[in-house]
A and B are shown apart, each in its own frame.
Chain A
Amino acid sequence: MTTDRLKIYDYSIALVLLAITLISVSVTIVIMGILGIESYNFFQLVPVTDFLFGTQWEPFLEPKSFGVLPLITGTLIIVIGSSIIAIPSGIVIAAYLNEYASKKTRKIIKPLLEILAGIPTVVYGYFALTFITPLIRNFLPDTQVFNGLSGAIVVGIMILPMISSLCDDAFSSLPSSLKQGGYALGAMPFEVVSQVIIPAAKNRIGASVILAMSRAIGETMAVTLAAGATAKLTLNPLESIQTMTAFIVQVSLGDTQQGGAAYLTCFSVAGLLFLITFLLNIVGHKLMTQSKHGGF
């Protein structure tokens, strides 16, 4: 009899745990549902092609226009700029930690990089506005107070630790026979890094780059503070721009009335943002797991 009771206990606990696990699944479904439904409502008011290919973004003032391209170019400036800063230096730091640094140096540098990664994004926004922008304006006086370059630099600083730590994992998980083979042939550390390690780990380097770019696209507070709120179709990093994320914040701060096109466009922009980051994350994880299981 007691065995039966224990059996029931056991099953009911398992069921409760299953139910709780389903919460995280439902979060994805609810996110997709909300973004899908509200975007659909938006596209009843504004044609999809006007949204995707329009070059004017003026959701609040008459005549309203909802061309998302200016927000895309704004986001692109941030992503490209931060990638130029973070990708090469992230890989180089990982190479340094793996091939040159002593165990002791490594033990000091890794936690410091983690601190850099753990600093809240609003702090980077403050840093961009009060330190980096004045610095840029020293050299390029024509730069506007809010500008894409300053935003791109801090986002670059933010994603750098992510790239360096993922690449570091990738490099150190390579079989040591590869490196030793290189050294046995008389290669220098530089040659081992550039001709053995980087080619062998290229999939996982690619994965970390993709994941970091996805993070840069979704980054909100730093770019809202540093890059401004002027949706403009430009690739000039010295002008004030607006990213997709910054626009969503702008809408939530203002008192846009619920249900109108200006309110609904928040969801269509978020939907686009979700779609882009979702695809990048899937590709990134796929590359990552493939190279973990097959090959190296």
Chain B
Amino acid sequence: MSLSRSQKNSLFKFSCQAVTAISLLVLVVLLYHIMKEGFAYLNFDFLNHFPSRRPSRAGIKSALFGSLWIMGLTAMIAIPVGVCTALFLEEYTNRKNKWVKLVELNISNLAGVPSIVYGLLGLTVFVRFLGMDRSLIAGALTLSLLILPVIVVTTQGALRAVPDAIRYGAYALGARRYHVVFGQVLPAAIPGIMTGVILSMSRAIGESAPLIMVGALSFVAFTPESITDPFTVLPVQIYNWVGRPQEAFHGLAAAGIIVLLAVLFTFNIIAVFIREKFQRYKND
């Protein structure tokens, strides 16, 4: 029995809808499962206690503080470096130059390097070679290198979206290049840059493999006080709990995941808000 053309079309349309619906259903099931398992463990004590061998007393305080420290440090390192790199590539070079093309190819390849390789890089260079040991700063530097390509590429996009009329206008008034770049183009591109930065930070906040490599897993029962202190972060603490055989720790892991996802969603909502409210120049 063969199907008519329109039957084939309907069948295909139906399977398209079904596949799309199933993939969205997975998202719903994932979130529901986490809520169901973790909600009971989520209370103020959970946020305010340090990790413990006894599930009933274990909390996520050190991981939450560790994540905030890591985020702050990573932002302070990665944003200036990434934005300056993008400014140089977009505003100071000719895009047809083969060296510029090579640097851009290099950056897009760096974006595809597995995060665990960055972990090995951090372990060898920051932890061992530069003697930073298992510290916040070693973790932040490692994560900075990891998200650098994302910041560069999104900043380049934001700079490209600024109309040339702004540059020509400034030059016509006698401005020098650094006036044009830092006084006109950069401010106009900031909302677009912010969106990219927040998205790259939300990638950094969920990263665990490279931080495990630079030694974030150690049992941490205090909040870090300086950049040379040892640390743990939310995803690493979650990994630690998921890896234990006892059921109760899986519940704690789920509660930790709720906290992590809450932080992530806040970040994303801010990004969307900035994009909708402040972005004057877009390139689609």
Interface residues of A (CB under 8 A from B): 6-7, 9-10, 13-14, 16-18, 20-21, 23-25, 27-28, 30-31, 34-35, 38, 89, 92-93, 95-97, 100-101, 109, 112-113, 115-116, 118-123, 125-127, 129-131, 157, 160, 188-191, 193-194, 211, 214-215, 217-221, 224-225, 245, 248-249, 252-253, 258, 266-267, 270, 273-274, 277-278, 280-282, 284-285
Contact = CB atoms under 8 A, between A and B. Distances in A.
Contacts of A89: 19, 22-23
B117 A190 contact: no
Interface residues of B, number: 83
Chief secondary structure at chain B's binding surface: helix
A3 B29 CA distance: 65
B114 A277 contact: yes
Given A20-B81, A131-B33, A252-B119, A115 B103 contact: no
Contact of B20 (A34, A93, A126, A194): A93
Contacts of B128: 258
A27 B24 contact: no
Contacts of B217: 253
B214 to A, nearest CB: 9
Contacts of B117: 31, 35, 218, 270, 273-274
A278 B212 contact: no
Contacts of A118: 202-203, 206, 264, 268
Contacts of B80: 20
Contacts of B212: 249, 252-253
Nearest to A153: B26
A42 B238 CA distance: 33
A252 B112 contact: no
A55 B152 CA distance: 42
A24 B33 contact: no
In this complex, which of A10, A127, A253 has the most chain B Cβ atoms within 10 angstroms of its Cβ?
A127
A252 B13 contact: no
Nearest to B205: A120
25 contacts: A13-B182, A24-B110, A24-B148, A31-B121, A34-B120, A35-B117, A92-B15, A96-B20, A100-B16, A118-B203, A120-B208, A123-B257, A126-B242, A127-B33, A127-B34, A129-B250, A131-B30, A189-B12, A190-B9, A193-B12, A218-B114, A224-B209, A225-B242, A252-B213, A281-B108
Contacts of A219: 114
A181 to B, nearest CB: 18
A92 B37 CA distance: 33
Contacts of B103: 21, 24-25
A20 B79 CA distance: 12
Contacts of A115: 27, 268
Contacts of A252: 119, 123, 212-213, 215
Interface stretch (B54-62, B85-93, B159-167, B187-195): B85-93
Contacts of A160: 23
Contacts of A24: 85, 103, 106-107, 110, 148-149, 152
B63 to A, nearest CB: 12
B207 interface: yes
B209 A221 contact: yes
Contact of A116 (B27, B105, B182, B264): B27
A184 B239 CA distance: 55
A74 to B, nearest CB: 15
Contacts of A277: 112-114
Contacts of A248: 116, 119-120, 213
A38 B129 CA distance: 14
Chief secondary structure at chain A's binding surface: helix
Nearest to B22: A89
Nearest to B213: A252
In this complex, which of B34, B120, B202, B208 has the most chain A Cβ atoms within 10 angstroms of its Cβ?
B120
Contacts of B17: 96, 100
B30 A28 contact: no
Given A31-B113, A96-B16, A127-B30, A120 B107 contact: no
B16 A191 contact: no
Contacts of B109: 28, 278, 281-282, 285
Nearest to A280: B112
Contact of A123 (B88, B115, B119, B260): B260
Contacts of A122: 206, 208, 235-236, 238-239, 242, 257
In this complex, which of B8, B109, B242 has the most chain A Cβ atoms within 10 angstroms of its Cβ?
B242
A131 B108 CA distance: 35
A78 to B, nearest CB: 13
A270 B87 CA distance: 32
Interface in B1-51: 5-6, 8-9, 12-13, 15-17, 19-20, 22-24, 26-27, 29-30, 33-34, 37
A5 to B, nearest CB: 10
Contacts of A27: 110, 121, 145, 148
B52 interface: no
